[in-house]
Structure 1
Amino acid sequence: MRHPIRTLAPCAATLATGLLLAGCGAAVEPLPEVAQGARPTAAPATKAPAAAASRVTVGGPGTACALPVSFGVAEKWTPKAVEDPENPEFAALTQQGPATVRCEVDAKPAGHVGFLRVWTAGKGPARTALEGFVKAGRNTSGVVYQESGSGAGPATEVTYTVRDELMGGTKEERAFAVSTPKGTVIVHLGGLDTAEHRAMLPAYELARTSLKAL
């Protein structure tokens, strides 16, 4: 089922806490309680984390989100399509630079507070779209790009930190972008904080390594 957006532009700050699809007609409710998964506190190892196990894919026919790609979804993560993302009323929430958000994969059922978000942009170099996406973000610093790969071929990845105006301090975020015959796809991983972000990296790696162009 497609998940409707009922938020307005003043709620843009809630993106940092994974509330893109929450309503804003009244006071913002507290985050739902979740059974917390592992939250590493030490700096991650230099080698990439192992990909998570997957029983579900998203992006193909009959899946929750219509996308130019498909990829494996980590166990218990829940994908939902973003409805009417090109509506100008919701632009502050659904558009970032050249990209428009199409799908959210929610980590809360797996015990984490965060999302994998899938964005699409027009045809062109993946790095150009990714650079535009990051530059359009707020309070970013420490931006590092690198060329890597995905299940669909070459990819450009970026890691950076974001100053969190709601929680204070900074937190890590990252994304990768690939070019497909239907345009560029950006897969972004945020998280409530850096510990949550690092704990969700296996789901991000699963998406990157299992990605297929449709």
Structure 2
Amino acid sequence: MRKRALPIRAAAPVALAAAGLLLTGCGTTPAPVAPAGTAAPKAEGPKAAATLGGPGSACALPVSFGLAEKWEPEAIDDPENPEFAALTRQGPAVIRCEVDAKPAGHVGYLRIWTADKGPARAALEGFVKGARNTSKVAYEETAAGALPAVEVTYTVSVELTEESKEERAFAVSTPKGVVIVHLGGLDSDEHRAMIPAYELAKSTLKAL
């Protein structure tokens, strides 16, 4: 089992610029109009390429869920060590596992945290309060697999770049404690590109 020594809590965003082109057609024939009521087919999310959290997986967790293709999990080495508390603790939660999106072409991590038994909402609120420079915090009741869950979306201000980026997390209560699954990202664009993998984890989650 590979273990990651310490989590990477933040990275400096990279500014990206994109140019748009306006294309015009020639001739007088009008473009065909789509029939009323016709909608573009909804894009399917990624399918699970592996399962994390179960027996023999990279991280021992109170839950299991599906991983998107090429996302690579690593357990955190000695997360209870108080010497590294600034990196391994956030509010009431301790980080247990990181799933790296770089092999899948993204810059960010899906991180799994655990907290003591109790209401998922209280643990998630404490987790967000433990983050720095948060704003636009919004909670909602939802489901993770068959389990009731609480989800939060918020923005984080990055002091180094004076920019903000989106983050989100959901929490569930299990017989072994609360589990928080968090998605960050280098910037908001990277974050949004990784949401399908986050949603896959949420929809396939099971308590062990």
Aligned to 1:72: 66
Deviation at 1:6, TM superposition (A): 5.7
Aligned to 1:81: 75
Aligned to 2:2: 2
Counterpart residue type for residue 144 of structure 1: A
Question: RMSD in angstroms over aligned alpha carbons?
Answer: 2.1
Contact persistence 1:176–1:188 (CA under 8 A): yes
CA change 1:153–1:3 in 2 (3 A) is same
Deviation at 1:3, TM superposition (A): 1.6
Q: Deviations over 1:151-200 (max 9, x none)?
A: 14110000000001233310000000000010000000000000000000
Aligned to 2:162: 168
Q: 1: distance between equivalents of 2:100 and 2:168?
A: 16
How much identity, in percent, do the aligned residues show? 69
Which consecutive residues of structure 2, in runs of 5 or more, have no partner in the other structure?
15-41
Counterpart residue type for residue 70 of structure 1: S
Aligned to 2:94: 100
Deviation at 1:50, TM superposition (A): 5.0
CA change 1:205–1:111 in 2 (3 A) is same
Q: 2: distance between equivalents of 1:104 and 1:51?
A: 21
Number of aligned residues? 181
CA change 1:211–1:166 in 2 (3 A) is same
Scaled by the length of structure 2, the TM-score of the pair is 0.82
Contact persistence 1:152–1:213 (CA under 8 A): no
Contact persistence 2:6–2:87 (CA under 8 A): no
Aligned to 1:91: 85
Q: 2: distance between equivalents of 1:195 and 1:67?
A: 29
Aligned to 1:156: 150
Contact persistence 1:4–1:84 (CA under 8 A): no
Q: Which has the larger radius of gyration?
A: 2
Q: 1: distance between equivalents of 2:138 and 2:44?
A: 21
Q: Does 1:134 align with 2:128?
A: yes
Q: 2: distance between equivalents of 1:153 and 1:178?
A: 7
Aligned to 2:189: 195
Which consecutive residues of structure 1, in runs of 5 or more, have no partner in the other structure?
8-13, 19-30, 32-47
Q: 1: distance between equivalents of 2:109 and 2:65?
A: 15
Scaled by the length of structure 1, the TM-score of the pair is 0.80
Q: Deviations over 1:77-128 (max 9, x none)?
A: 0000001001011100000010000000000000000000000001011000
